[in-house]
Structure 1
């Protein structure tokens, strides 16, 4: 495991120093280059939270991954560069407005001269890290608010226009280790009621919009248009993964 290969994987070529400019740049590059995807679940292959195996998948095999994988390896990269960063937990709000269980989602808390929230594993959220402070922030696409939820937790909300905000998740700044996520990670991979067992997802933003595979559809969106195509069979799916995401699935899939 080395950071040079990792930085090449995300096409980052800037200065490697632990400052806010570098944090913003590598966060953006990670989001643009490494898709959120649950293809292992589709092909009945359990993924691991062992750091070496995640590195092999994301960096060597040029795959994407799940929130636990993506933020786990991103935190490792930040630490190697010299950032003060740690893993933290969050609870994602469901459609009824209720927060999920603890360890529902993994995040990264980063300290420079200020404190930041990093998340390269949500699927469709902020492109740039957010400062943990009151007030509205923008990543150039959407607007975000971080505010106190209760004595222990913060609330992250998102808006397309800076006016009407939707609750995304609550989080606290307590450091947690990867093993704390293992039980719910296994549930999301194996339980028939899990959203990620029921659905196949591969998505990443582009400079002008987003490209997504959702079950049997390819969806490409820009600021001015939306294109959908039906995925006809397994060969068609693998071709789209290769051409749209740079993912070459192994023979076992």
Structure 2
């Protein structure tokens, strides 16, 4: 990223250019990213190609003021952090599913980030509901966050797992299993293709657009169901009646301009 691209990205998330890559800066840019750049899978249902290349990610997230799913959001965010002076590694993860099953290889992309003081952090703006702030990577005790109580623990070695794998646990439930070997963005192409095309992927089965709200809650549009959750858990839910109303919510609540309402490409799949 050049200086002009960095400035545009920072304007997109409403952050002044920082002087140094400190932990406080990392906390600020992660929270602001979660508040301003939605987690969304609209491209899957609009027939838009998902390309894991820095320029294409910046064109989408910054230029078109869109969001994306993990590969896009953490891919772009990692580029921004690197440009700001942080030492960033891309890490692969597999999401924990029902009955202890793990998702596909390269199921998720997260970031290991080293700040100027040498401390290391797990940064993730691409999981949907996750921690609002980076998690201390080496800490094994519980970490309190507005998004829940998080722990990073050594993963059990069942099923041929790697001894270095870590489980990210929230509120006592394993969320994803994280490898510690650094990857490059191109390693995730097959995972992005699978999640955007496979009938077995939950991303092809439903529509989602979600972000953290300024009060620490969350707003989510799933198809035509609008859900607003407050920081204390109070929840409002309503069904949008018209396509025009759907497009208005995308525009006014998520900053996304669409010329047509996305429709689920794989509506008959269940489970």
Do Structure 1 and Structure 2 share a fold, with TM-score over 0.5? yes
Distance in 1 (CA, whole Å) between partners of 2:17 and 2:47 is 38
Distance in 1 (CA, whole Å) between partners of 2:183 and 2:170 is 25
Identify the residue that residue 153 of structure 2 maps to in structure 1.
147
Aligned residue among 179, 191, 198 for 2:198 = 191
Distance in 1 (CA, whole Å) between partners of 2:47 and 2:20 is 40
Distance in 2 (CA, whole Å) between partners of 1:186 and 1:34 is 22
Partner SS state of residue 96, structure 1: helix
Superposition deviation, residue 210 in structure 1:
0.8
Superposition deviation, residue 193 in structure 1:
2.2
Identify the residue that residue 158 of structure 1 maps to in structure 2.
170
Identify the residue that residue 128 of structure 1 maps to in structure 2.
133
Identify the residue that residue 248 of structure 1 maps to in structure 2.
257
1:150-177 CA distances to partner (integer Å, 9 max, x unpaired)? 4120111001xxxxx0100111221111
Moved more, 9-18 or 36-45: 9-18
Distance in 2 (CA, whole Å) between partners of 1:83 and 1:10 is 18
Superposition deviation, residue 252 in structure 1:
10
Contact 2:129-2:147 within 8 A present in 1 as well: no
Q: TM-score, normalised by structure 2?
A: 0.87
Give the alignment of 1:13-24 within 5 angstroms.
Answer: 13=16, 15-24=18-27
Distance in 1 (CA, whole Å) between partners of 2:17 and 2:51 is 30
Query: Which sections of structure 2, spanning at least 5 residues, go unmatched?
Result: 158-162, 263-271
Superposition deviation, residue 224 in structure 1:
5.6
Contact 1:46-1:189 within 8 A present in 2 as well: no
Identify the residue that residue 183 of structure 2 maps to in structure 1.
176
The structure 1 segments of at least 4 consecutive aligned residues displaced by more than 4 Å after TM superposition are 250-253
1:36 corresponds to 2:3: no
Distance in 2 (CA, whole Å) between partners of 1:9 and 1:249 is 18
Identify the residue that residue 162 of structure 1 maps to in structure 2.
none
Partner SS state of residue 68, structure 1: helix
Distance in 2 (CA, whole Å) between partners of 1:180 and 1:192 is 22
User: Aligned in 2, Cα 1:68/1:142: closer, same or farther, shift over 3 Å?
Assistant: same
Contact 2:70-2:126 within 8 A present in 1 as well: yes
1:217 corresponds to 2:225: yes
Superposition deviation, residue 101 in structure 1:
2.0
Distance in 1 (CA, whole Å) between partners of 2:259 and 2:224 is 20
Moved more, 96-105 or 76-85: 96-105
Distance in 2 (CA, whole Å) between partners of 1:106 and 1:79 is 16
Contact 1:16-1:22 within 8 A present in 2 as well: no
Contact 2:130-2:147 within 8 A present in 1 as well: no
Distance in 2 (CA, whole Å) between partners of 1:64 and 1:171 is 23
Moved more, 215-224 or 183-192: 215-224
User: Aligned in 2, Cα 1:76/1:232: closer, same or farther, shift over 3 Å?
Assistant: same
1:47-91 CA distances to partner (integer Å, 9 max, x unpaired)? 111111110110011111111000001110111011111111011
Aligned residues: 248
